[in-house]
Structure 1
Amino acid sequence: MGAMPDLVTPTPTVRVSFLQAMQEFLGEGRGTAEDNSMIGREFREYAAVWSTPDGFAAYVADLRAAAREETPRPNGFVPSTTLWYVDGEDYLGRLAIRHRLTPFLLEVGGHIGYDVRPSARRRGHATAMLAAALPVSRDLGIDPVLVTCDTDNVGSRKVIEANGGVLEDERNGKLRYWVPTSRS
């Protein structure tokens, strides 16, 4: 076995594997006009350019720029740090840390969103990704982080609880957990 996978800044080196992962999500019915997730938005914005190395590099640059306060963004969007979970050149999943909460994020989205490609699920990757993101969140000045999941998403609930998440309540079909980022 090689080293453990790492959370890294988005990088063009995993393009082939990333595109395979996106095909897996499409196979699950993601990426439709009704898909308001990170994946859905990115399919609509970038799927047309992903296929070329230059287009993919531009996508990566946009993701990196989104972490900067001064980057222009749509109304209601906040700076967010995107990290990819990779094993060498193998893309496994990603996680986004929103630097602050809007009223919508406070209700539904939370600080951190993540997804694991279908072929890599049920191996503990999401739990490891969230654990690795907590110190990054702390360095961004966020403690605790709000992490939400659908009420029926048992896997995601276990991920959040394994990382110390404390359930506050349920709103709009979402369970809302606060996860400490500083180790006392």
Structure 2
Amino acid sequence: MTALVPPDVARWQSWAAMVDDFGGPGEMHGSGHWNLEGDPVPTEAGCAAYVAMTELTSTADLDGTRVPSTYFWIADGAGGPDDDLVGFLHLRHLLNDWLLEEGGHIGYSVRPSARRRGHAGRALALGVRAAAGLGIERVLVTCDVDNEASRRTIENGGGVLEDERRGKLRFWIATAG
């Protein structure tokens, strides 16, 4: 089972283990780093700073490059407080020029030790459902040309390839039906 949960400092120990599993600060990809200021430090204070930044950027376009967004952590389970965190998912409500070209509406990443267990596909489906709840009719999801696992995840999730741009494959997924 997989759930999307909001970032919460109460989960800091599981979050810190997840950051370490990615190889530490600076090694997260997909949506884990989210282009926030600085690298996350895998401590309780670092988690608190990270959560505060996700809350701040979720509603404001601070510098003309960020769009309103919802940030999630991917949990292994039903979303209970003791579920291990296995990844990140970032749902952008709008697309600016860069997101339309390369980033997409949804970015996600699953920690190395939790890969190949279906979390990415289930998290993507949950992210698509969350986008539908925001009134987004279709979402753009991208992956690197050479990321075969992500490509399969997106295609299995209903992604229809539109094209390749700047080394990224661009897929559209309808949020209804």
Q: Common fold, TM-score beyond 0.5? A: yes
- Report which stretch shifted further, 170-179 or 83-92: 83-92
Counterpart selection for 2:8 from 3, 6, 11:
11
Aligned residues: 171
Question: What's the CA shift for 1:139?
Answer: 1.4
Aligned AA for 2:127?
Answer: A
> For 1:111 and 1:148, how far apart are their aligned partners in 2?
9
- Report which stretch shifted further, 103-112 or 15-24: 15-24
> For 2:38 and 2:86, how far apart are their aligned partners in 1?
21
> For 1:36 and 1:8, how far apart are their aligned partners in 2?
17
The aligned counterpart of 1:82 is 71
The aligned counterpart of 2:53 is 62
> For 1:114 and 1:36, how far apart are their aligned partners in 2?
5
Answering whether residue 160 of structure 2 is matched by residue 163 of structure 1, we say: no
Measured at CA, do residues 137 and 21 of structure 1 come closer, stay the same or move farther in structure 2, by a change above 3 Å? same
Counterpart selection for 2:26 from 4, 25, 31:
31
Contact 1:24–1:117, Cα closer than 8 Å, also in 2: yes
Unaligned runs of 5+ in 2: 77-81
Bigger Cα Rg:
1
Aligned AA for 1:109?
Answer: G
Q: What TM-score results when the alignment is normalised by the length of structure 2?
A: 0.86
Residue 116 of structure 2: SS of its match in structure 1?
Answer: coil
Contact 2:32–2:89, Cα closer than 8 Å, also in 1: no
* Identical-pair percentage: 46
- Report which stretch shifted further, 81-90 or 146-155: 81-90
Measured at CA, do residues 42 and 104 of structure 1 come closer, stay the same or move farther in structure 2, by a change above 3 Å? closer
The aligned counterpart of 1:137 is 131
Question: What's the CA shift for 1:67?
Answer: 2.4
> For 1:40 and 1:82, how far apart are their aligned partners in 2?
9
- Report which stretch shifted further, 171-180 or 10-19: 10-19
Counterpart selection for 2:147 from 142, 148, 153:
153
The aligned counterpart of 2:121 is 127
Contact 2:34–2:90, Cα closer than 8 Å, also in 1: no
Question: CA-atom RMSD, angstroms?
Answer: 2.3
Residue 26 of structure 1: SS of its match in structure 2?
Answer: coil
Residue 67 of structure 1: SS of its match in structure 2?
Answer: helix
Contact 1:85–1:129, Cα closer than 8 Å, also in 2: yes
> For 1:78 and 1:85, how far apart are their aligned partners in 2?
21
Unaligned runs of 5+ in 1: none
